[in-house]
Amino acid sequence: MDAIAHSPCKVEAEALQDELKRTRKENETLKVMLEVMGSKVSALQASVQEIGSNSPLSSSVSYYEVYGSIKKPRIEIPMVKPSQIFVRTDSNDKSLIVKDGYQWRKYGQKVTKDNPSPRAYFRCSMAPGCPVKKKVQRCAEDKSILVATYEGKHNHDPFGSPGHSIYSPDSSSRSSRSSIISFPVNSNPSQPGVALDLALSSPTHDKEKPCQSLMEDHTSNKNCNTKAEEYLASLTKDPSFTVALAAAVARSLSTPRVL
DNA sequence: CGGCTTTGACCGGCGC
DNA sequence: GCGCCGGTCAAAGCCG
């Protein structure tokens, strides 16, 4: 009886072991990919630092765009949709307003466990059916930094006009006291200013103070020119980089430390 | 007066 | 099952 009962179990066990082997191998491959991506990110950060980053922020890349280029990600990634931007404001300014060119209606505020600063919840009010929401909260590490998390995709243009860049430095909608940290890559009028937080995915950075490192890196410089855009565009066009970046971001979000 | 903010209540998911 | 916590609702008040 036992022998009859065990033999299918044995087969199952072998199948599981086989799968485990395959999973390990895949894990190794992903590790290598992550390392490659890490070096690319480091190069990118160095490049951005070199040429500056604070110029006409016409648009940015978001996790959506990263995933939009992937038909079916091999790895299931929970909760990767929200993308973040970091905004430096006056530390005396207690408002949780991130001026990104869209019109937002606040519908709630909460104090969360992990951060003493209250988190504000906004809905896009520029278009009636716009599903976009954003959460704004001060960085726990540096209260002068606002962290805005965007969810969803706008079904309209900012200001209803494509020519009206939401990140124009001269734009009256921009707060003169704040600077939005984001990487201009390609133009997408339906996206808000969404930053790709490379600090999250870079293996050279620890999880702590992702916003601060970005702040130092990108606000200290004033010029971001087409070279950066070209470099970033070439990176985002690279499918392997995109996949690896997406995976790394997802892993960074789900686990504090990857390697 | 209409639209927005504020804020306490409520709800659902999740971990223990 | 219960409590905690994040997210949302909705009434009241404020402001242009």
Taking the model in full, what pTM does it have?
0.50
What span, in angstroms and rounded, lies between the C-alpha atoms of A201 and A217? 15
pLDDT tens track for A125-141: 877 778 888 888 888 77
- How many Å apart are A113 CA and C3 C1'? 15
- pLDDT level of residue A26 (50, 70, 90 thresholds): low
A109 touches strand B (CB under 7 A): yes
Residue A88 and residue A179 in contact, taking contact as beta carbons nearer than 8 Å: yes
Strand B nucleotides, any atom under 7 Å from protein beta carbons: they are 3-9
Residue A43 and residue A203: Cα distance in Å, rounded?
12
Nearest protein residue to nucleotide C8, judged by CA and C1' positions: A108
Contact assessment for residue A53 and residue A198, using Cβ atoms and an 8 Å cutoff: no
Using a 7 Å CB cut-off, which residues contact strand C?
A 107-110, 112-114, 119, 121, 133, 135
Mean predicted confidence (pLDDT) in A5-33: 63
